[in-house]
């Protein structure tokens, strides 16, 4: 089956987390405040799950225009730590009636899968 070109992202910085909090309206301090993260038993802050979902959305729109996305869903599997470097991948698992079903993944350099999902997209040339 067809593999989408991987979307390799820079390491998640504290600046990225602060900017995403502002853009998304998700100001949960666990993502930006080290003291809050430590009080929850964590070593450091971690990325918003929706940030990884947004990156997967970029992978999809690198493959087809946004108006061709028919469905898109994800399951959060693990946290993305600050300084983690996500890589988004996708592969076509089926094509039927001009629609492609894709299997999607976000993983870190150590192999940890942080997000899995799927999407259905309309392929070019569908009448």
pLDDT at 126: 58
Residue 70, domain member (yes or no): yes
b/e burial code for range 77-116 (CB count within 10 A of at least 16 → b) = bbbbbbebebebbbebeeeeeeebbbbbbbbbeeeeebbb
pLDDT at residue 125, as a whole number: 75
Overall pTM > 0.85: yes
**Structural domains counted in the chain:** 1
Q: What is the pLDDT along the chain (127 residues), one digit of tens a residue?
A: 799 999 999 999 999 999 999 999 999 999 999 999 999 999 999 999 999 999 999 999 999 999 999 999 999 999 999 999 999 999 999 999 999 999 999 999 999 999 999 999 999 875 5
Name the residue range of residue 92's domain. Answer: 7-122
So what's the pLDDT on residue 97? 95
Distance CA 116, CA 103 (A): 8
Q: Are 60 and 72 in contact (CB under 8 A)?
A: yes
CA distance 8 to 6: 6
Residue 16 lies in a domain: yes
Q: Which residue has the tokens 């502002």?
A: 22
Whether residue 1 is contained in a domain is answered as no
Question: Which CATH number goes with the domain that contains 56?
Answer: 3.10.129.10
Residue 71 lies in a domain: yes
The confidence score (pLDDT) of residue 120 equals 98
């Amino acid at each position: 089956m067809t593999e989408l070109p991987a979307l390799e992202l820079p390491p998640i910085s504290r600046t990225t987390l602060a900017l995403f909090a502002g853009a998304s309206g998700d100001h949960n301090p666990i993502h930006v405040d080290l003291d809050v993260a430590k009080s929850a038993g964590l070593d450091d802050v971690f990325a918003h799950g929706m940030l990884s979902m947004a990156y997967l959305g970029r992978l999809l729109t690198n493959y087809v225009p946004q108006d061709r996305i028919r469905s898109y869903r994800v399951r959060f599997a693990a946290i993305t730590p600050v300084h983690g470097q996500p890589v988004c991948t996708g592969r076509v698992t089926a094509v039927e009636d001009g629609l492609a079903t894709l299997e999607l993944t976000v993983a870190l350099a150590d192999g940890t899968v942080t997000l899995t999902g799927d999407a259905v997209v309309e392929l070019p040339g569908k009448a």
